[in-house]
Structure 1
Amino acid sequence: MDITTFEDLIIWARELHTNLAQCLSECSPKNPDERAQALLTYLAGHESELARITAEFEKQADPKALKTRVYDYLNNEHKRIKAHESCDGHYANLDFDGIEREVFAFHDQLIDLYDSLAGKAEIPEAKELVESMRAMEEHEAKRLAGQIGRMNDL
């Protein structure tokens, strides 16, 4: 997907979360490890919720921010984030720790992208929007870390 506006960015981020949720869900029953299956199922639900929350940004954002253009550098940056447009099933072959590492790496890449965009936003409304998206990702990543930590304790 070519991202030309902040509205496109929101749609792209929502689709990333949606596709990751579907992939995690598909891989859960295929993973031979019960703990990994439970983690995949939990993460799939969490990613679905993040897709829903991300969609809210489109509904609530300042229209001026939504229509603000994102420069071409983004199209190179976002291609580095592993998109789960189609599920290759590799989560079915990862253990608990491998799944955890990959999902946190995915969220870290989104947070870094949002951080970069906030520093380059040309209007305050766009900066505020992308900072809000970054804050949501950071908050949800921390919450996820706590939940996974509790799962690890079991």
Structure 2
Amino acid sequence: MEIKTFEDLIDWARQLHAHLSRSLKDSAEANTNERASALLGYLSEHESELERITAEFEKQADPKVLQTRLYDFYNHQPFDSHRKSDTHYAQLGFDEIAREIFNFHDELMELYRSLLRKAELRDASDLVEELLEMEENESMRLARQVRSMDDV
């Protein structure tokens, strides 16, 4: 998917969360470790919620900002809604799963930070800042939940 506008960016991020949610759910069903399977199930629900929250940005953002072009942005592989989920999580343990999910969120937050540094329009900057803040807050909430699951 070539990301040309902020609307494309938000849609791409939403699709990432949706695909990750499906992948985690499918992996949870196949993971034989009860603790890892429970983590995968929780993470799947969390990613599904992030998909919903990200979609709200598309609905609520100023249409002019959504159509603002992004420059110096790289291409991404398209996300097909029927794309097969990635079930490699079924072979991972609790700690490996957590590490991969936190790395995913760290990469997404770093992308938003990079875009924030390049944003030239105040409204575009505000939108990216809100996306970043949402990801940071959700990542902190996720970290607390994973820690509490790890303590059990």
Question: Shorter-chain TM-score: which interval?
Answer: over 0.9
Conserved in 2, the CA contact under 8 Å of 1:23 and 1:89? yes
Shift of 1:10: 0.4
Unpaired runs of at least 5, structure 2: 78-82
2:132 alignment partner in structure 1: 134
1:116 alignment partner in structure 2: 114
1:27 alignment partner in structure 2: 27
1:82 alignment partner in structure 2: none
Instruction: Give identity over the alignment, percent.
Output: 57
Q: Distance in 2 between matches of 1:67 and 1:34?
A: 45
Shift of 1:87: 2.3
RMSD value, Cα:
1.2
Following TM superposition, where does structure 1 have runs of at least 4 consecutive aligned residues deviating by more than 6 angstroms?
none
2:36 alignment partner in structure 1: 36
Shift of 1:132: 0.2
Unpaired runs of at least 5, structure 1: 80-84
AA partner of residue 74 (structure 2): N
Conserved in 2, the CA contact under 8 Å of 1:64 and 1:125? no
2:73 alignment partner in structure 1: 74
TM-score (norm 1): 0.92
Task: Give aligned pairs, total.
Answer: 147
* Cα-to-partner distance string for 1:54-107 (whole Å, 9 max, x where unaligned): 000011112221011011x3215x67xxxxx53232100000000000000000
Q: Distance in 2 between matches of 1:36 and 1:29?
A: 10
> What's the secondary structure of 1:3's corresponding residue?
coil
Q: Distance in 2 between matches of 1:111 and 1:131?
A: 10
